[in-house]
Amino acid sequence: MARTLEIVGERWTLLVVRDLLFGVRRFNDLQRHLDIPKAVLAARLATLEAQGLVERDARRELTLTERGRDLWPAVHALMAWGERHCNDAGPRRLFVHARCGTTLDHLGACPACGREPGPEELETRSGPGAEPLRDDAVSVKLREPHRLLAPL
Amino acid sequence: MARTLEIVGERWTLLVVRDLLFGVRRFNDLQRHLDIPKAVLAARLATLEAQGLVERDARRELTLTERGRDLWPAVHALMAWGERHCNDAGPRRLFVHARCGTTLDHLGACPACGREPGPEELETRSGPGAEPLRDDAVSVKLREPHRLLAPL
C-alpha cells in the first residue's frame, strides 16, 4: 500500500483518476472541473503516464489504461465514504448498474445481481445532494446520466 | 470525494488508518512501523482525531471510531490494487474471512459467502510475497495470523 500511495497518494491524483473514469478526456476540462493549478495537473498527469495508468492518443486526449481503470473500486470506496460521512444532504452522485438499472450499494455491489460491476458497466447520475451551482463543462454534462469511461 | 481527500488524502494518513485497522494502538509502534517522522505522525493523528476518525483512551491508546473503521473498503481496495499492479512476488498480505476461512478476492468479497465482511470479521496473514526483513514490533507480530482491530 505504501507503493500504491507513492503513485496515487498525492493530493489531486485520485481526483484526476476519478474524472478520467467519468470520461473526461481533455486537459482543460480536467483543469476547470478540478479547479487545480495547471502546473500541478501537468505534473500529476506526467506521473500517471510514467506509471502506466494514463495514455494519450494522437490528439492528446487522455484515457485510463487497464491499470488505471483498476482503481475504480478504490475511487468508489472513497466516494462512498464521503457520501456517508461528509454529506448531510443525501448522495451527490449515484452509480447505477446499467444493465439492470439498480443503484450500487456503498460497497460497490449491485443489490440486484450481487456482483460488483466494473466502470464500463456503470452509469452515473446526479443524486439529490448534488451541488447545482458549478457551470464548468464537465459539471454541466454530469447533470445528465452518463456512462462511465464514455467520452464526456 | 474532494472533502474525503481533504481528510485522508495527505501522504501517510491512509497508512496510519491501515495500521489502526490492523490493531496498532500506540504512537511509538505506528512511528516505527511506518518509519515516519514523529512530528508528521502527530500532525496526521491530530487531524484524524479532530475529524472524528480516531479516539484515544485514558492510557493514550489509539482506536478507530466507526467513522474511521468505515474506511476499510477504501484501504482494502488500495492494498488490492498494489498487490495486483506493483508486486511480482505474489501477495504480501492476505485477508481471510475468519468464520469460513476463505481468502477475500481483490474486491473485498468472500468467494464462499458472497458477502463483503467488515474488518472485525477478518484475519490477516502474511502472504507468499511478504518482506521478511523488517524487525519492528508490528512487522514481527504481523507475521502470525491476526484478527483485524484486535490490539496488536
Reported confidence tier of residue A13, pLDDT bands at 50, 70, 90: very high
Query: In total, how many domains does chain B have?
Result: 2
**In whole angstroms, what is the distance from residue B150 CA to residue B152 CA?**
6
Tell me whether residue A27 is in a domain: yes
Of the listed ranges A29-38, B110-119, B130-139, the least confidently predicted one is B130-139
B1, B7, B9: residue with CB nearest A79: B1
Confidence of residue B133 (pLDDT cuts 50, 70, 90): confident
Mutate to test the interface with B, among A34, A85, A87, A94 (most CBs of B within 10 A): A85
**Domain closes at, from A22, A53, A69:** A69
Selected for mutation to probe chain B from A10, A17, A18, A81 (highest B CB count within 10 Å) is: A81
pLDDT digit string, tens, across residues A78-133: 999 999 998 888 899 999 999 999 999 999 999 999 899 999 999 999 999 887 78
User: Is the torsion defined by CA of A11, A16, A17, A18 positive or negative?
Assistant: positive
Question: One-letter amino acid identity for A16?
Answer: V
Instruction: Tell me if B70 and A78 make a contact (CB, 8 A cut-off).
Output: no
Is residue B74 within 8 angstroms of chain A, CB to CB?
yes
Chain B hits for A112, CB-CB cut-off 8 Å, are: none
Of A5, A84, A114, the CB nearest to B70: A84
Query: Residue B59 is part of a domain; what is its CATH number?
Result: 1.10.10.10
pTM score, whole prediction: 0.95
Residue A130 within a domain: yes
- Residue A134's pLDDT band (cuts 50, 70, 90): confident
3-state secondary structure of B13: helix
Q: Which three cell numbers stand for residue B47?
A: 487531524
Distance CA A98, CA A102 (A): 7
Tell whether the model's pLDDT for residue B1 goes beyond 90: no
> Does residue B131 sit within a domain?
yes
Which residues in chain A have Cβ-Cβ distances shorter than 8 Å to B75? Answer: 1
Q: Is B98 a member of any domain?
A: yes
B54 and B95 assigned to the same domain = no
Residue A152 lies inside a defined structural domain of this protein:
no
pLDDT band at B7 (very low <50, low <70, confident <90, very high): confident
Minimum-distance CB partner of B5 among A15, A80, A108: A15
Instruction: Give the pLDDT of residue B8.
Output: 85
Interface test with A, best of B7, B17, B84, B85 (most A CBs within 10 A): B85
- Asked whether residue B152 is assigned to any structural domain, the reply reads no
Mean pLDDT of B112-127: 95
Would an 8 Å CB–CB cutoff place A36 in contact with chain B?
no
Break chain B down into helix, strand, coil percent, rounded to 5.
40, 15, 45
Question: pLDDT tens digits, residue range B50-98?
Answer: 999 999 999 999 999 999 999 999 999 999 999 999 888 889 999 999 9
- Ordered DSSP codes for B58-121: TT--EEE-HHHHTTHHHHHHHHHHHHHHS-SS--SEEEEETTTTEEP-TTS--TTT-S---GGG
Edge to edge, the sheet with strand B102-103 lists: B102-103, B93-97, B122-126, B146-147
User: How many whole angstroms separate alpha carbon A44 and alpha carbon A29?
Assistant: 15
Tell me what the mean pLDDT of segment B43-51 comes to: 95
Q: How far apart are CA A69 and CA A80, in angstroms?
A: 17
- Does residue A61 sit within a domain? yes
- State how far the alpha carbon of B88 is from the alpha carbons of A68, B70, B92, B105, B134, in Å: 18, 29, 10, 17, 19
Task: Say what the ipTM of the complex is.
Answer: 0.94
Which of B7 and B62 is assigned the larger pLDDT? Answer: B62
Mutate to test the interface with A, among B4, B35, B142 (most CBs of A within 10 A): B4
Q: Which residue of A has its CA nearest to B69?
A: A81
* Integer Cα distance of B54 and B42 in angstroms: 12
Kindly state whether B58 is in contact with chain A, defined as any CB-CB distance less than 8 angstroms: no
| Candidates B74, B87, B109; nearest CB to A74 | B74
pLDDT for B69: 97
Domain coverage including residue A86 = 72-147
Indicate if A7 and A65 belong to the same structural domain.
yes
Mean pLDDT of the region B89-114: 94
Q: pLDDT band at residue A152, thresholds of 50, 70 and 90?
A: very high
d(CA A138, CA A109): 26
- Residue carrying C-alpha cell 478507530: B64
Q: Are residues A6 and A37 in the same domain?
A: yes
Q: What is the mean pLDDT of residues A139-151?
A: 96
Amino acid in the structure at residue A144 = E
Cβ contacts of residue A99 below 8 Å, gap of 6+? A113, A117, A121
Smallest Cα distance from A70 to chain B, Å: 7
Report angle CA B110, B11, B36 to the nearest 5 degrees: 100
CB pairs under 8 A between A and B: 94
On whether any CB of chain A is under 8 Å from the CB of B114, the answer is: yes
Looking at the structure, do residues A78 and A134 belong to the same domain, yes or no? yes
pLDDT band at B134 (very low <50, low <70, confident <90, very high): confident
CB-CB contact of B13 with B44 (8 Å): yes
Q: Is residue A11 part of a domain?
A: yes
Tell me which of A4 and B20 has the higher pLDDT: B20
Burial label, A31 (beta-carbon count in 10 A; 0-12, 13-18, 19+): middle
pLDDT value of residue A5: 87
